[in-house]
Amino acid sequence: MALMITEECINCDVCEPKCPNQAIYMGIDYYEINPDLCTECVGHFDTPQCQMFCPVDCIPINPEHIETKEQLLDKRHKIHSN
């Protein structure tokens, strides 16, 4: 389950540096999350850091990228294997 940032984003720059996978980037109008890099912080933290620090609560689960905790952990290992 990758996360996504909705259009309610106020571009406050809080979420981007919190991501341990560098999955968050500035899109055309607001920040976006690369679902190939988002692990919901599984293996790093107990809760997704972007959600935890977002002041407007605009980071829900992306319904187009549903993954199990095991899949997210596998993705984390692949991202950080270098």
Query: Is 7 a domain residue?
Result: no
Range of the domain at 37: 16-79
- Give tens-digit pLDDT for 18-65: 999 999 999 999 999 999 999 999 999 999 999 999 999 999 999 999
The pLDDT of residue 6: 98
H/E run at residue 33: strand 31-33
CATH number of the domain encompassing residue 68: 3.30.70.20
Q: Is residue 8 one of the residues assigned to a domain?
A: no
- pLDDT at residue 82, rounded to an integer: 62
Q: Is residue 1 part of a domain?
A: no
Question: Does position 1 have pLDDT exceeding 90, yes or no?
Answer: no
Confidence of residue 81 (pLDDT cuts 50, 70, 90): confident
Q: How far apart are CA 24 and CA 70, in angstroms?
A: 21
Please tell me whether residue 82 adopts helix, strand or coil conformation.
Answer: coil
Q: How many domains does the chain have?
A: 1
Q: Is the dihedral of CA 49, 29, 9, 74 positive or negative?
A: negative
6 in any annotated domain: no
